[in-house]
Structure 1
Amino acid sequence: MAAAAAAALLAAVVALTAAEAALVEHTFVVRQMHMQHLCKDTLVTLVNGQFPGPAIEATEGDTVVVHVVNESPYGITIHWHGVKQRLNCWADGAGMVTQCPIQPNATFSYGFNLTGQEGTLWWHSHVSSLRATLHGVIIIRPKSGNYPFRKPDMDVPIIIGEWWHKDLTEVDKAYLNSNDNDPAAATINGKLGDLSNCSGKAEDSYVLEVEPGKTYLLRLVNAALYSEYYFKVAGHSFTVVASDANYLRPFSTDVVAVAPGETMDVLMVADAPPCRKYHMVALAIEAPEPDPQLPLYISRGLVRYKNINASVDCAGAERGAVIPDMPDNHDTTTTFHFHGNLTGAAPEHPLLPQVRGPVDERLYIALGQGSVCRGNMTSCKRGGSSESMLVAYMNNVSFHLPDKLALLEARYRGDASLSSTVEELPSRPPRPFNYTDPALIPVAPGGKEEAIEPTRKATTARRFRYNATVEVVFQSTAMMQSDSNPMHLHGHDFFVLAQGHGNYDAASDARSYNLVDPPVKNTVHVPRLGWAAIRFVADNPGSWFLHCHFEYHIAPGMATVLVVDNGPTPETTLPPPPTDLPKCSKLQEQRV
């Protein structure tokens, strides 16, 4: 049955593939294996035994088919982060939103097309915190072979992540109980780097060998659960050329900021003195006190020159590698200005004229943390009391996933038992307050935040007619913490119009909108104690997850679903689900 369904899928996608496009096919076998880091043997869940997982390399217009064979003990989905999935919401891979997880000892094949997309995306599990080890890069090269910038001599994926000793399936539950829940180390391409050691023996570092004068396209992916990162290479500078598989107006910098979920494409010319070695460093950014403080997460690799011209005299060259001067780990200003420098390279984008016109729907979404009472109590003590439980919210509603049927399937089948329990996400916060008041950060009995902590849990969605122009203003808050918020929308790219510090003021801040050449993204960095405004066209029918990409925000509920109606024609209508769409198991709790 599974083989027949896979054959049918292949036939369908091949029929949709243009004659000159290719079919890129992979098999992902998900299973557990032991890995040892920091003197500890850890059981981890991997694809094909690789950490990070296998890269998917394709050309614009290609069709990708991935056969997932689940030999792990957990329900699994794979989300193709940033792939637009045009009229293909069933393949988006958001657990309990677009599909039930692939159960242990079962298989499912994903198929999707990459028409109209070039650049760097990535894939990751979308059930529980397993994406910490289940992830990999997606590289989409231009069909013509030409870039709107100097063609690089080599592509180099750089995946920034974390190493966890903890059972990742238990990590989400620990968030809800406010337990200490930290990773063991940061990683670059799966290597912890020589700053981490086991009984005095340094961990392996990722090593990039370069040739003098050549240009390298570093495809940066932040796959971390916890932190935004600064990235630098000593002695070298970058030209930022793309983000989230959309080209940018190039700009030069020596430091890149990349938030969880984001990708950044940067050119690096190997133009430093070739006799030296140079450290590349990924440094986690965290909010300053009074926010709860994490250990300092930093990983470093090495850039080493090879094929040095015989005329170059390296005699007497220093042995030690050059170390870059990094921003402070509490520096949130550099990332604010870095993201503010992003501008689009395609002012002729086909949707930009519509985005510049009238807005059909406006949402103002406050992002914060609150609490709910334990044990279904109607009232309880707050301020860190054991009677209440920490949650995250959007407009004071903490998202709750269904556990018996995925939202998209329930909508398609007209399942009233589930659809009747889905609430509309409020357009604005239910009670206005000074969202960025630093006095709201500390959690303590009698603290200023205690009166506005109470939050409710619900399955929320917001419905849009086909082709509606939607504006969303995300407002970060100081409620019980003051982190930034990398907000990711499935199924659509959006235009980032502006960002700012403090509370958003429509009367004044809308005048700062960039409607000339805004960057096109799928993940927006909403700054700490600030806001970001986006617009998109709801032109892809389906049920699309919108959530923060910090795991400690999405797991406790900083999420919702945007439902886009079918259009007026068969070509704008979501097709039926695949016949082998996974079924839910009542025996196993599944989380996002």
Structure 2
Amino acid sequence: MNRMEPHFLAIFMIALSFPLFVQSLVRHYNFSVVLKNETKLCSTKSFVTVNGKFPGPTLYAREDDTVIVRVTNHVKHEVTIHWHGIKQLRTCWSDGPAYVTQCPIKTGQSFVYNFTITGQRGTLLWHAHITWLRATVHGAIVLLPKRGIPYPFPKPDKEKIIILGEWWKSDVEAVVNQATNSGLPPNISDAHTINGYPGPAPGCISQGYTLHVESGKTYLLRIINAALNDELFFKIADHKLTVVEADASYLKPFETDTIFLSPGQTTNVLLTANKLVGKYLIATTPFMDAPIGFDNVSSTATLHYKGTPSYTKTILTSIPPLNATPITKTFTDSLRSINSNTYPTKVSSTIDHSLLFAITVGINPCDTCTNGNKLVSAINNITFLMPTTSLLQAHYYNIKGIFTDDFPANPPMVFDYTGTNQPDNLHTENGTRVYRLNFNSSVQIVLQGTAMIAPENHPFHLHGYNFFVVGQGLGNFDREKDPLRFNLVDPVERNTLSVPNNGWVAIRFRADNPGVWFLHCHLEVHTTWGLKMAFIVDNGRGFNESTLPPPKDLPKC
């Protein structure tokens, strides 16, 4: 049984070039559009992909490479591509979120993304960054070290990419449009996938993905959670996994049997094929510690040792409970940056901007919705409205009336964020408001979960930067006591983190990358509801501390 095939396609044309001190390498990929009907899996449907693949093609580069990607849109939807986790130093125009750094690419048009890999190596992902198209428009980014620079862990014999995702039997754009019209939550996905295969699932026919291994060899698994709305566990029956990297940042290695990833997060692990020859179940299952609707269908694959007889039964594994908060906490607490002479951890000890962002779900009036109201999300009671001109263009050309730079640094009202004493007024304020940062200023953000309407974990992603997770806890953040327990020695460095249900997370970063940078929940349902904001980082001194001019082919709104 083949994996899911596309009906509509977008085009990638990729060229990589290496620095002058090594042999130049350019890779060109020319792709054509094909139309196919999908009838072999969960349902007959059409869906958007890149180059006819689901998941899409893997982008390979080395640290210091320049990456040039020409994206041509051959579908009826407008599209953009975001290079999730790439720092985009001074190349904000290539970041990809629609109406934040660019207008979307219209049908029949192209745009060239151009950026350099600076100080990064590991695994990231790319995905569509407009509406819900990233459900099927996504793929891996593999960033290799500079030539001659080894991994800071034992060299694996082989490397494998594992992409976890979600699958809807219906068109995801129709799903989100229906939810928008009703003002209610959208339909949940019908299955989870491993490298495009759902495995056994109600109404789905698939043999599932097979990971082939040989006894005695060690494999580097590059694991990506590309799901839209679900945090996921990952396990392989009877096998331990050594975690060595998260979000393209090296870690102090530790061993576990269960990996936990929020949407947008990546984790590299070492797998040693040291068990008896046979077949072993691979399982990805959802995590949810709140009583709300979600896709609770497990997806499975098979680890298959070379030489295993065909009649061999698959060895099964137990899966974590849906609300296995202790497992998520143990995994998260184990993540520590490597903090070596080669890869030092540089956390700001002084803070120029100290921000407290309260995450809420509210209800606002909606004249066009079924019940006259709609669910919304907000940061500091601001439900972010996307403009019709990109924020970066408005900022760069000083276009008035697109946004205001008065996003609140603290909640407008102090209350018991995680307790039972919640505000009576559930309405939020709509606005396109950003927060302005001086170049090279040090920033601390405390993301505070709340108990309003639907408390749950929130995976937050910051564009343009990595940040250090210096502290986290349950309940309300205490400005006096909690900073005394911050880890400023070896905190994990990430681009996406999970704010615990009814808890808080503190992050720090230095605003040394000018431009406009998105901060948003990476649960697509909450981003749609307005759980997002943006930072403007002003230029520093001179050309090297300023945003580069816009490319000539920048799409127009």
Task: State TM-score, norm by structure 2.
Answer: 0.92
1:388 aligns with 2:373: yes
Note if contact 1:360-1:468 (Cα within 8 Å) is conserved in structure 2. Answer: yes
Give CA-to-partner distance per residue, 1:554-590, whole Å, 9 cap, x none. 1111100111111112111111100110011xxxxxx
Give CA-to-partner distance per residue, 1:388-440, whole Å, 9 cap, x none. 2100111111111011x11101111111132xx42522111111222223x5x
1:182-581 equivalences under 5 Å are 182-198=188-204, 202-274=205-277, 276-288=278-290, 291-307=291-307, 319-348=312-341, 352-353=345-346, 355-375=347-367, 386-403=371-388, 405-418=389-402, 421-437=403-419, 439=420, 451-581=424-554
1:158 aligns with 2:162: yes
- Distance in structure 2 (CA, Å) of the matches to 1:148 and 1:550: 32
State the partner residue of 2:7.
Answer: none
- Distance in structure 2 (CA, Å) of the matches to 1:76 and 1:28: 17
Structure 1 residues 460 and 133, CA gap change in structure 2 (3 angstroms): same
- Distance in structure 1 (CA, Å) of the matches to 2:289 and 2:529: 19
- Distance in structure 1 (CA, Å) of the matches to 2:19 and 2:56: 26
Note if contact 2:189-2:295 (Cα within 8 Å) is conserved in structure 1. Answer: no
- Distance in structure 2 (CA, Å) of the matches to 1:449 and 1:26: 55
1:142 CA drift (Å):
1.2
Note if contact 1:366-1:475 (Cα within 8 Å) is conserved in structure 2. Answer: yes
- Distance in structure 2 (CA, Å) of the matches to 1:212 and 1:152: 13
State the partner residue of 1:120.
Answer: 123
State the partner residue of 2:109.
Answer: 106
Give CA-to-partner distance per residue, 1:454-493, whole Å, 9 cap, x none. 1111112111000000000001122111211111000111
Q: Partner amino acid for 1:186? A: H
- Structure 1 gaps, min length 5: 1-5, 309-313, 377-383, 440-447, 585-592
Structure 1 residues 30 and 62, CA gap change in structure 2 (3 angstroms): farther
Q: Partner amino acid for 1:297? A: V
Q: How large is the RMSD of aligned CA atoms in angstroms?
A: 2.4
- Distance in structure 2 (CA, Å) of the matches to 1:189 and 1:471: 36
Give CA-to-partner distance per residue, 1:174-232, whole Å, 9 cap, x none. 4442144111100000001134454xxx4220000100011111111100011000100
- Distance in structure 1 (CA, Å) of the matches to 2:551 and 2:443: 30
Q: Partner amino acid for 2:175? A: V
Note if contact 2:176-2:186 (Cα within 8 Å) is conserved in structure 1. Answer: no
Note if contact 1:24-1:62 (Cα within 8 Å) is conserved in structure 2. Answer: no
User: SS of the residue aligned with 2:331?
Assistant: helix
Q: Partner amino acid for 2:325? A: T
Note if contact 2:67-2:115 (Cα within 8 Å) is conserved in structure 1. Answer: yes
Structure 1 residues 116 and 273, CA gap change in structure 2 (3 angstroms): same
Q: Partner amino acid for 1:429? A: P
1:24 CA drift (Å):
4.7
User: SS of the residue aligned with 2:227?
Assistant: coil
Structure 1 residues 23 and 480, CA gap change in structure 2 (3 angstroms): farther
Structure 1 residues 502 and 117, CA gap change in structure 2 (3 angstroms): same
- Distance in structure 1 (CA, Å) of the matches to 2:66 and 2:314: 43
Note if contact 2:190-2:295 (Cα within 8 Å) is conserved in structure 1. Answer: no
- Distance in structure 2 (CA, Å) of the matches to 1:396 and 1:349: 42
1:375 CA drift (Å):
3.0
- Distance in structure 2 (CA, Å) of the matches to 1:430 and 1:59: 45
- Distance in structure 1 (CA, Å) of the matches to 2:273 and 2:316: 16
More displaced stretch, 205-214 vs 16-25: 16-25
- Distance in structure 1 (CA, Å) of the matches to 2:40 and 2:167: 8
Q: Partner amino acid for 1:514? A: N
User: SS of the residue aligned with 2:394?
Assistant: helix
- Distance in structure 1 (CA, Å) of the matches to 2:489 and 2:244: 18
Structure 1 residues 474 and 430, CA gap change in structure 2 (3 angstroms): same
Note if contact 2:367-2:373 (Cα within 8 Å) is conserved in structure 1. Answer: no
Q: Partner amino acid for 1:136? A: G
Task: State TM-score, norm by structure 1.
Answer: 0.87
- Structure 2 gaps, min length 5: 1-11
Structure 1 residues 565 and 250, CA gap change in structure 2 (3 angstroms): same
User: SS of the residue aligned with 1:335?
Assistant: helix
1:83 aligns with 2:86: yes
Structure 1 residues 164 and 116, CA gap change in structure 2 (3 angstroms): same
Q: 1:63 aligns with which of 52, 66, 71?
A: 66
User: SS of the residue aligned with 2:544?
Assistant: helix
Q: Partner amino acid for 1:330? A: N
Q: Partner amino acid for 2:51? A: N
- Distance in structure 1 (CA, Å) of the matches to 2:384 and 2:45: 31
1:357 CA drift (Å):
2.4
1:320 CA drift (Å):
2.0
State the partner residue of 1:381.
Answer: none
1:318 CA drift (Å):
7.9
1:165 CA drift (Å):
1.9
1:341 CA drift (Å):
1.1
- Distance in structure 2 (CA, Å) of the matches to 1:18 and 1:536: 31
Note if contact 1:287-1:482 (Cα within 8 Å) is conserved in structure 2. Answer: no
Structure 1 residues 471 and 357, CA gap change in structure 2 (3 angstroms): same
1:26 CA drift (Å):
4.4
